[in-house]
Structure 1
């Protein structure tokens, strides 16, 4: 893993995020893959925990941030409609004192405006140090970078802290979406999450959407955005380019 960056073994895949009002691609989540020369493609669930234990995660986070921004710049130079790219950061990286400087420097280096970058954080990252989290969110928002709360509802969190931290988007975890059509309680929980987000003036996106019925239900509940295999699995750059070109022909 120590040589993976220098040997260009890491690769970013992108999964589209769809606006339920316009049915258009409004964002892409950058997802890391390790194309190992002997073992083939390795998912982050396998190697990220090891990277965190060994301290390599900071270098990996910086690599993902830089290459997502470089790809965003290339898309803009090709004349694509500018859309936001979301990058996941680890708890270790988010708690570094130079986090803001790293992100601001990366934006300047790649020539990307902050409004085209979003940082995704899990509840556990946000709640580990709320004071630091709030400070970082305020700094990032000041240069146009938005912050999304990922896996919402899967960890213990205080609603009072949620109000104070005020992320820009809540991302409903796929575990709530998966069975909601077959579980009345699940539907109530999803409805409550959407209402909570809107009452706090936050956008809400549901991940793990896999079928048309889920899309219809989320649309009826005024969910803003969705992401999942119903629209597309995570794709390498060349295939996501084709998907973006065909965005006017997404399934209804």
Structure 2
């Protein structure tokens, strides 16, 4: 699918119901935010929010999984930056001081470290203009089998040099293992929700989960468990302690795109 779009992301943004929104051809891109809690206060104030995308087409919400395959390769970088721009711009509508903003980032859109540094500088400048402290910003990256470990590690270090935290997403279902994670040295690892649930099905799996969470903690890497949907799942994570939790049991994504 080819659409006409402006050269710069800023020219594709507008306000809708007080929220910064993006336009890409016939699609409207909106921010929603899902809360993330610490196990020490799971029913209190969130420690952060993950910025998620909601896409509207002809007045109907469609899944990002259906939208992204429609975006041609030459526009993927543009859409990536549009998503980050609207999440950063709207964060003040949901945040309280000290809360973290988690935003997804595909590191394969960076062809080299120099390009990453240039784009990160631009992003930090935009955050500062909007009153978002880079130290309250977390980039969630997904490992791919084809990625070069050293290039990936250098990009992570580039983010950290600007005060931005880095989380490796979907641990357990892709190509990560503990040794590789510790070499990359991210600030946070997010356990995939489906993997977490499958591990809970056996005693051996539960023991592996405990070792994984505690092992990363010993390396000063925070763990966030995704996909927590039942009290039993939450009880298991709370019993281990020292990590974060995210899931429908504790809070669904909220924003203009999901309002009636």
Q: How would you bin the TM-score normalised by the shorter chain? A: 0.7 to 0.9
Q: Compare 112-121 and 173-182 and name the one that shifted more.
A: 173-182
Counterparts of 1:1-40 in structure 2, within 5 Å, are 2=3, 4-5=23-24, 9-23=28-42, 24-37=45-58, 40=60
Determine the C-alpha separation between the residues in 2 that align with 1:239 and 1:48. 19
CA deviation map 1:189-221 (0-9, x unaligned): 211220221122100000000011111111111
Determine the C-alpha separation between the residues in 2 that align with 1:195 and 1:81. 28
Q: TM-score, normalised by structure 1?
A: 0.83
Is residue 141 of structure 2 the alignment partner of residue 121 of structure 1? yes
CA contact 2:192–2:226 (8 Å) conserved in 1: yes
Determine the C-alpha separation between the residues in 1 that align with 2:41 and 2:252. 20
Determine the C-alpha separation between the residues in 1 that align with 2:255 and 2:30. 8
Cα offset for 1:63?
Answer: 0.6
Q: Compare 106-115 and 175-184 and name the one that shifted more.
A: 175-184
CA contact 2:229–2:247 (8 Å) conserved in 1: yes
Is residue 75 of structure 2 the alignment partner of residue 59 of structure 1? no
- RMSD (Å), alpha carbons: 2.5
SS at match of 2:56: strand
CA deviation map 1:52-79 (0-9, x unaligned): x533211111011111211235556xxx
Is residue 254 of structure 2 the alignment partner of residue 235 of structure 1? yes
SS at match of 2:223: strand
Segments of structure 1 that go 5 or more residues without pairing to the other structure are: 241-252
Determine the C-alpha separation between the residues in 2 that align with 1:95 and 1:157. 21
Name the structure where helix makes up a greater proportion of residues: 1
Match of 2:109 among 85, 90, 93: 93
Q: TM-score, normalised by structure 2?
A: 0.80
Cα offset for 1:33?
Answer: 1.7
Cα offset for 1:168?
Answer: 0.6
* Count of residues in correspondence between the two structures: 234
CA contact 2:116–2:158 (8 Å) conserved in 1: no
Match of 1:244 in 2: none
Q: Is the alpha carbon distance of 1:239 and 1:33 closer, same or farther for their aligned partners in structure 2, counting shifts above 3 Å? A: closer
Segments of structure 2 that go 5 or more residues without pairing to the other structure are: 5-22
Match of 2:119 in 1: 102
CA deviation map 1:5-26 (0-9, x unaligned): 3667111111110111123301
CA contact 2:40–2:242 (8 Å) conserved in 1: no
Match of 1:226 in 2: 245
Determine the C-alpha separation between the residues in 2 that align with 1:145 and 1:195. 24
Cα offset for 1:182?
Answer: 3.3
Determine the C-alpha separation between the residues in 1 that align with 2:69 and 2:27. 20
Q: Which runs of 4 or more aligned residues in structure 1 lie more than 6 Å from their structure 2 counterparts after TM superposition?
A: none
Cα offset for 1:141?
Answer: 0.9
SS at match of 1:34: strand
